[in-house]
Chains A and B, each alone.
Chain A
Amino acid sequence: MTKNRGVARLLPGKCIGCGERCLQSCPANAIVMDAAGAPVIAQEKCVGCARCVQACPAQALEMEGGAGAVPVKTAAESVCSGDFSAWHDVWVVVEQFEGVAARVSWELLGVGRELADKRHAGLGAVIIGHRVEHLAAEAARYGAQIVYLLDAPVYAHYRTASHCAAVCHLVEKHRPEIVLLGATGQGRDLAGAVATRLATGLTADCTGLDIDERGFLLQTRPAFGGNIMATILCERFRPQMATVRPKVMPLPEPLERPSARVVRDDFAPDEALVAVKVLEVLRAQGEGDGVDIAAADVIVAGGRGLRSGENFALLRELADVLGGVVAASRCAVDAGWIGHDRQVGQTGKNVRPKLYVACGISGAIQHKVGMASSEVIVAINSDPEAPIFQIATYGIVGDLFRIVPLLTQNIRALRGGASS
């Protein structure tokens, strides 16, 4: 074979060690991986097919010499010309407990509306439960045009087996193009099972959803622990499934004149075939103090810079004058300074307050993904290089033990002046 397209070459510093995608794609066994997970290309073996260049997610490879790279269809692209015309509409699987819907489900109807509009498709809501008809009207208010309602005693408690069977039944019957679920405990449990049963792709914890020029769902999520973002596609299978964490998408404005078609489906697995039994449900209490940081409009959060649990008193005073609550980074929680229910970030909660004051928090990416969508972020940190300043609306480089009390005092004075 002539090397009229040149040979592949690695661009220095661009390889991200993605896991041998280039090696996998090479038909000539011309690539071996070095200790750092970067490809070493045997130039004499390279046949110039440019498959590795196509496979590389980081644009770290290029063709060198020859007449320039000729795009080669990758395996995925050749199959994706498959006919998906039978698949249409965007669905949100609504999560509910005892007839109360999880707010994230309505948040997903908001982004679902945008996706459906771009695809000129309908927006459906799937409601599964027992005595949950009233949720159909609520789904309609948040923009659903079709509500698929499965109401039966077997669905009274969420069980993976019954709910998975129900969702798969509906998907196979109506063929939605996109299925969205909240990335909650229950949503993840269900999404993983459904995607496996349907043998389709599922992208967890998306922070952005969009439609590309070919009509495919672009699913963006933090990768590598969040240091960079990855856009993921599911080109060869339908439906395209994604989960989104609570508070990542804004709650849509309720419609004034909602109208949705309700499609009742009497599919219900036999209770005898659902092996898992829910014996008891305990409402969260006792642990923590019942404060839900995810619901707060103002959050004052502390990190390693607080140095001790006692020092959180400073933050509590500021939170009190602001009418907010105290939260923390993982560092402070792991140190035992404050309870885990107050943790913001990847292994804690996602928050989206109007005001987030980060005190002594360096801003590790795991923390940032949990609060970056706050409306206004104030960072107070003594280290001018702290990554938190990259996302802060306003930053003060200084000693939080001076700045925070000053701020509290100032706000208190303002309030005092206003009320007299």
Chain B
Amino acid sequence: VPDTTEIKIDPVKNTLIRDGVPSILNPFDGYALEAAARIKDEDPSTRIIVLTMGPPQAEKVLRECLSIAADAAYLVSGRTFGGSDTLATSRVLAAAIARLAEKEELAVVFCGKQTIDGDTAQVGPGIATHLGLQQLTLVDRIESFDAQGRRIRVRRRLEDRQEIVEAPLPVLITVVRELNRPRYPTVPARLAAAKAKLEIWDNQVLCLDTAQVGFKGSPTAVRRIFSPEQKPGEILGDGLRDPEAAVDLLMRRLRERELLQSPFDGSGGQS
């Protein structure tokens, strides 16, 4: 019987592109999985469960996780969940985690900081808030993990400082790239993962109110999509054949815009 369970989430939550996204492990989720794997290295009774929400193709990502370190994998998938924004996505994933936590004791939910395409960093805090977990975002080092004492101490990385913080388990952690260097799967592990059985959960399993998930359950909606406006610039001369002339032109433009005042005589004006 496992005494601790690590759950790692990979919210493949591209509400905008679904089929167009390559099924690759988001790098931040790679760091999250590695962090869970290191806890398991210390305490082999740890179970790592990976969970993601996405289209059926996301199965590939889960198999990759299984080949690296995970013990079990769940794919939350289904038409009902399509079009979910970050709030609706976090509702679905929180429900799935709550269901897992009925069976196994939950210690840490690791999330990648953000997905490379969605890039919102909101699903992690959303899940934590739904589940009433403490959230520790932007973690760049696990200082200590005490499964028996049910405490974790981590270092958080903010723009201008780092913080050492401590919290009781269970917690939700989002990670940054500085946390670790993910390991690679072995060939036998890859082969085993390819054959492993994945559990797929749709709304028949989770039984969520359909008004709370998917497109309908999302407070935000895309109203319009457009190409960024581009103001055409000026190409100066022919830099390949005559670099001198091109640089002369650039010098003239920069002087016109008063960008070439010396940083040392800016105060003196016309002296």
Contacts and interface: CB of A to CB of B under 8 A. Distances in A.
Given A160-B135, A196-B87, A389-B233, A19 B16 contact: yes
A239 to B, nearest CB: 11
Contacts of A379: 233
A1 interface: no
A232 B220 contact: yes
Contact of A410 (B122, B158, B236, B251): B251
Majority SS at the chain A contact face: mixed
Nearest to B231: A391
B129 interface: yes
Interface size class of B (residues with CB under 8 A): 35 or more
Interface stretch (A125-133, A259-267, A277-285, A304-312): A277-285
Contacts of B250: 378, 394, 396, 407
Contacts of B216: 24, 75
Contacts of A35: 19
Contact of B161 (A97, A380, A407): A97
A135 B16 CA distance: 40
Contacts of A390: 230, 232-233
Interface stretch (B3-11, B36-44, B96-104, B113-121): B113-121
A282 B164 contact: yes
Given A202-B87, A228-B227, A236-B219, A403 B16 contact: no
Contact of A394 (B19, B156, B234): B234
B236 A395 contact: yes
A192 B248 CA distance: 50
A36 B134 CA distance: 39
Contact of B228 (A195, A228, A232): A228
A37 interface: yes
A87 interface: no
A204 B121 contact: yes
Given A204-B121, A275-B167, A37 B20 contact: yes
A12 B30 CA distance: 37
Interface string A267-299: 000000001111111111000000000000010
A230 B224 CA distance: 6
A224 B17 contact: yes
A228 B155 CA distance: 35
B133 to A, nearest CB: 10
Contacts of B90: 196
B48 interface: no
B157 interface: yes
A393 interface: yes
Interface stretch (B62-70, B185-193, B199-207, B258-266): B258-266
A406 B247 contact: yes
B18 A37 contact: yes
A398 B160 contact: no
B251 A414 contact: yes
B240 A201 contact: no
B19 to A, nearest CB: 3
Nearest to A379: B233
Listed residue (B79, B135, B167, B223) with the most chain A CB atoms within 10 angstroms of its CB: B223
A160 B233 contact: no
Interface string B148-179: 00000101111111111111100000000000
A21 B117 CA distance: 18
Interface string A37-66: 100000000000000000101100000000
Contact of B222 (A231, A276, A322): A231
B59 to A, nearest CB: 16
A419 to B, nearest CB: 7
B83 to A, nearest CB: 5
A229 interface: yes
Contacts of B1: none
A201 B247 contact: no
B181 to A, nearest CB: 13
Listed residue (B15, B157, B222) with the most chain A CB atoms within 10 angstroms of its CB: B222
B125 interface: yes
A81 B150 CA distance: 48
B19 A33 contact: yes
26 contacts: A19-B17, A21-B215, A57-B224, A185-B137, A191-B125, A193-B129, A196-B125, A196-B130, A202-B86, A204-B120, A228-B225, A229-B227, A232-B220, A233-B223, A275-B167, A276-B134, A277-B167, A279-B153, A284-B162, A382-B240, A391-B233, A397-B235, A397-B240, A398-B239, A403-B243, A407-B251
Which 10 residue pairs spanning A and B have beta carbons closest together? A398-B239, A192-B125, A323-B263, A201-B219, A37-B19, A201-B220, A196-B129, A204-B120, A396-B239, A192-B122
Interface of B: 14-20, 79, 82-83, 85-87, 90, 116-117, 119-126, 128-130, 134-138, 153, 155-168, 214-216, 218-228, 230-240, 243-244, 246-248, 250-251, 253-255, 257, 259-260, 262-263, 265
Given A233-B220, A398-B240, 12 more contacts: A17-B18, A18-B17, A18-B222, A57-B223, A188-B122, A188-B125, A192-B129, A204-B121, A228-B227, A390-B230, A395-B236, A410-B247
